[in-house]
């Protein structure tokens, strides 16, 4: 008999609304949205959203304009203590407001009412989220939308065909990454260990024609060996599928050579897949003449920007040097070269003594001409000390300024094939970490860089420009015409668009094709308009995260939900999941409302521990042969098997 689930969603932004919509798409679940807005515009948006949901899902959606931090509000939404009535549903709290403390408070109140309530909470800090998860002990998942979305932004920057990415194993990798960033950013040995121990690898789904992967004419086994990744499906047909613990391989698909125009979905380490991106699409190198020209222009700009007082002192020094040299050439009867040498030795107070204006013993009276020469020599010394003091102070200041510019300031970046990241907040900082792990040269533009970012620049692990990314001059310094990609992940949708348009204009000025751009656009409607009018695709943190959180509301193993071959007639929606294989080594379980059902699923990879906290990702094709107890199994579940037509 089917068991109903009541999911109480707490939040009042786009993410909360999309989570409600994703949950309501699945049969057997009711959604109660608990939230109220004081601000008029937000309240109007909430009212419009609630009206749409009530019209579309009249029997499974309800809204309660109450304070979610009150126990009575959750009770009114339907959360009852254990055993309150016989036909009690399963309960889940999804707390996704923008206030981490409120989310935690709601979760604790829900557990106080019913200790069996499943909890899914939004926490911006993945380390704190992991601690909360451990503290609540069971049936609880904390997720950071920023950390979840950053993987896709980074993977798409190096492989434009990637539409969804994640670190694997997911939770452990995210926590380790955050801890490493905050506690060990200055440890170079730690960076090297992390890059080579096999942990923290970024995995992604990429979709292209077979010829673009370079696997046309190969069978599936040979193609996977060439890619060093798993082939998920070819023209909508997965070569490997499991029904519960039974393996059902598609023999025809496995044996047939892959046609050049066949649409192929591949999953695996992005470091492997990105190497197959067609070479013609990569950014071209710039000639040495072009670089020399840019360096000369930079030198002229630097000369124009020197301090006026320095130019004045330099001019006075040259005039005095020539004047003193002429005087001593006449007064001491020196040739011009000797006069220049003597004046330089005097002005720098070196004073070798080989040439001197003191031509008679000190006890003898001087002639008027000798006296004047001595006075001029002393004047030369004083002028030299003053001038060189100014020069010394100026050079010291310039060196300090150069060091500051090297770590934080605006200067031209002389690189090719680099990735420009605009914005280094919660999302941007993780994107930077992922790109560095993939071996990419990273140029970061951030108005207010934190101490960790400055330390990375000081260690020459990134190039940091402190400035406004929406300023065309700032983007020009990043050399976008030679860059591999630009990632706009600031907190402003319009700023990200402005950055992309500025970079596109710069590349067109240099007669280059439009550079690859990855944008963070949280407003889904705005993102659709940008694609329609400017031809720039974008990813939304809400779009990437909402399906995952909706899945986590019921199954803590959920790692994502997305469609493959979305623009084709054979498009299918899958849920990505990760589970630990215990001693019984059982296959993925059936949902609570369909006990005994053999779930159809596609095996992808397992994470196999090798001791000392290290492990390796192993591709899997068959459950019985490839999956062992103790593995962390990553797999896909087609959701069409749970549709009303198939129940």
| HEC secondary structure over 144-173 | CHHHHHHHHHHHHHHCCCEEEEEECCHHHH
In this structure, the strands spanning 485-488 and 516-520 are parallel
**Distance (Å, whole) CA 268 – CA 451:** 34
pLDDT for the residue 196: 38
The answer on pLDDT for 301 being more than 60 is: no
The answer on pLDDT for 310 being more than 80 is: no
Are the C-beta atoms of residues 443 and 431 closer than 8 Å to each other?
no
359 or 471, higher pLDDT:
471
Are the C-beta atoms of residues 465 and 444 closer than 8 Å to each other?
yes
Task: Tell me: cis bond preceding 269? Omega within 30 of 0 counts.
Answer: no
Least confident range of 34-43, 280-289, 306-315, 627-636? 280-289
Residue 396, burial from CB neighbour count under 10 angstroms (0-12, 13-18, 19+): exposed
The answer on pLDDT for 447 being more than 50 is: yes
DSSP 417: S
The pLDDT of 595-618, averaged and rounded, is 88
Provide the CATH topology of domain 291-407.
Answer: Helix Hairpins (1.10.287)
Best CA proximity match to 237, nearest among 562, 561, 564, 560: 564
Sequence-separated (6 or more) residues with CB below 8 Å from residue 449: 408, 424, 457, 464, 466
**Distance (Å, whole) CA 261 – CA 216:** 8
Q: What is the 3-state secondary structure (H, E, C) of 462-530?
A: CEEEECCCCCHHHHHHCCHHHCCEEEECCCCHHHHHHHHHHHHHHHHHCCCCCCEEEEECCCHHHHHHH
The answer on pLDDT for 223 being more than 50 is: yes
Residue 294's pLDDT band (cuts 50, 70, 90) = low
First CA to last CA across the chain, in angstroms? 12
Using alpha carbons only, what angle is made at residue 614 by residues 609 and 619, rounded to the nearest 5 degrees? 50
465 or 133, higher pLDDT:
465
pLDDT for the residue 280: 40
Using alpha carbons only, what angle is made at residue 396 by residues 391 and 399, rounded to the nearest 5 degrees? 125
pLDDT for the residue 644: 53
Could you tell me which CATH number the domain at 1-122 has? Answer: 3.40.50.720
Its sign, for the CA torsion 526, 11, 79, 639, is positive
Are the C-beta atoms of residues 206 and 228 closer than 8 Å to each other?
no
Best CA proximity match to 394, nearest among 477, 317, 297, 301: 317
CB burial of 491-507 (b: ≥16 within 10 Å; e: otherwise) equals ebbebbbbbbbbbbebb
The answer on pLDDT for 186 being more than 50 is: no
The pLDDT of 38-59, averaged and rounded, is 93
- The structure tokens 């406004």 sit at 468
Q: What is the DSSP string of 391-415?
A: HHHHHHHHHHHHHHHHHTS------
pLDDT for the residue 288: 53
State the greatest distance between any 2 C-alpha atoms of the chain, in Å, as a whole number: 124
The answer on pLDDT for 71 being more than 60 is: yes
pLDDT for the residue 407: 54
pLDDT for the residue 293: 60
Sequence-separated (6 or more) residues with CB below 8 Å from residue 302: none
The answer on pLDDT for 199 being more than 50 is: no
Sequence-separated (6 or more) residues with CB below 8 Å from residue 531: 537, 538
pTM of the predicted structure, to 2 decimals: 0.78
From residue 538, how far is each of 267, 524, 532 by CA, in Å?
21, 9, 11
pLDDT for the residue 206: 96
The pLDDT of 312-341, averaged and rounded, is 88
pLDDT for the residue 153: 95
Are the C-beta atoms of residues 159 and 206 closer than 8 Å to each other?
yes
- Token pair listed for 609: 């521990």
Residue 51's pLDDT band (cuts 50, 70, 90) = very high
Least confident range of 284-298, 406-420, 486-500, 609-623? 284-298
Give residue limits of the domains in the chain: 1-122, 291-407
The answer on pLDDT for 64 being more than 70 is: yes
**Distance (Å, whole) CA 618 – CA 608:** 7
The answer on pLDDT for 279 being more than 50 is: yes
pLDDT tens-digit map of 493-507: 999 999 999 998 888
436 or 457, higher pLDDT:
436
Q: Where are the alpha helices (DSSP H) in 31-163?
A: 40-56, 71-76, 100-113, 126-136, 145-158
């Amino acid at each position: 008999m089917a068991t109903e689930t009541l999911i109480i969603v707490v939040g009042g932004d786009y993410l909360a609304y999309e989570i409600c919509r994703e949950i309501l798409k699945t049969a057997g679940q009711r959604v109660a949205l608990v939230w109220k807005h004081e601000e008029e515009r937000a309240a109007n948006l909430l009212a419009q959203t609630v009206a749409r949901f009530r019209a579309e899902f009249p029997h499974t959606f309800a809204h309660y304009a109450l304070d979610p931090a009150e126990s009575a509000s959750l009770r009114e939404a339907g959360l009852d203590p254990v055993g309150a009535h016989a036909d009690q549903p399963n309960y889940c709290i999804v707390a996704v407001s923008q206030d981490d403390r409120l989310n935690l408070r709601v979760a604790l109140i829900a557990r106080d009412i019913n200790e069996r309530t499943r909890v899914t909470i939004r926490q911006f800090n993945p380390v704190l989220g992991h601690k909360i998860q451990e503290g609540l002990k069971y049936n609880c998942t904390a997720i950071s939308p920023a950390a979840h979305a950053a993987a896709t932004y980074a993977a798409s920057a190096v492989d434009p065909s990637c539409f969804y990415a994640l670190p694997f194993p997911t939770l452990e990798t995210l926590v380790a990454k955050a801890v490493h960033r905050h506690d060990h950013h200055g440890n170079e040995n730690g960076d090297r260990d992390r890059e080579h121990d096999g942990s923290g690898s970024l995995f992604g789904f990429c979709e292209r024609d077979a010829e673009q992967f370079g696997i046309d004419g190969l069978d599936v086994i040979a193609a996977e060996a060439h890619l060093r990744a798993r082939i998920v499906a070819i023209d909508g047909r997965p070569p490997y599928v499991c029904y519960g613990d039974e393996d059902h391989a598609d023999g025809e698909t496995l044996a047939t050579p892959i046609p050049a125009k066949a649409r192929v979905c591949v999953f695996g380490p992005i470091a492997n897949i990105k190497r197959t991106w067609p070479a013609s699409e990569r950014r071209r190198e710039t000639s040495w003449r072009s670089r020399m020209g840019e360096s000369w222009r930079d030198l002229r700009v630097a000369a124009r920007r020197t301090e006026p007082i320095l130019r004045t002192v330099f001019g006075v020094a040259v005039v005095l040097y020539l004047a003193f040299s002429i005087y001593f050439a006449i007064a001491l009867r020196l040739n011009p070269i000797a006069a220049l040498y003597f004046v330089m030795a005097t002005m720098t107070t070196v004073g070798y003594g080989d040439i001197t204006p003191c031509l008679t013993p000190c006890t003898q009276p001087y002639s008027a001409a000798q006296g004047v020469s001595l006075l001029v020599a002393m004047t030369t010394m004083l002028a030299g000390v003053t001038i060189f003091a100014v020069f010394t102070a100026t050079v010291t200041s310039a060196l300090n300024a150069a060091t500051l510019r090297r770590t934080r300031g605006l200067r031209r970046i002389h690189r090719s094939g680099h990735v420009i990241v605009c914005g280094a907040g919660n999302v941007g900082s993780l994107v930077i970490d992922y790109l560095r792990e993939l071996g990419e040269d990273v140029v970061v533009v951030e108005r207010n860089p934190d101490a960790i970012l400055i330390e990375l620049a000081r260690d020459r692990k990134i190039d940091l420009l402190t400035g406004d990314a929406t300023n065309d001059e700032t983007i020009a310094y990043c050399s976008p015409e030679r860059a591999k990609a630009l990632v706009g992940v600031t907190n402003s949708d319009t700023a990200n668009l402005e950055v992309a348009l500025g970079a596109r204009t710069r590349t067109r000025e240099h007669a280059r094709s439009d550079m690859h751009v990855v944008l963070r656009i949280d407003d889904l409607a705005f993102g659709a308009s940008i694609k329609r009018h400017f031809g720039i695709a974008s990813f939304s943190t809400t779009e990437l995260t909402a399906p995952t959180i909706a899945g986590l509301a019921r199954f803590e193993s959920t790692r994502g939900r997305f469609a493959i071959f979305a623009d084709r007639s054979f498009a299918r929606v899958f849920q990505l999941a990760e589970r630990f294989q215990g001693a019984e080594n059982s296959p993925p379980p059936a949902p609570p409302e369909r006990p005994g059902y053999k779930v159809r699923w596609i095996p992808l990879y397992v994470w196999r521990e090798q001791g000392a906290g290290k492990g390796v990702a192993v591709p899997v094709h068959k459950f019985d042969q490839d999956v062992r107890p103790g593995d962390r199994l990553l797999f896909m579940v087609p959701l069409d098997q749970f549709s009303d037509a198939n129940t």
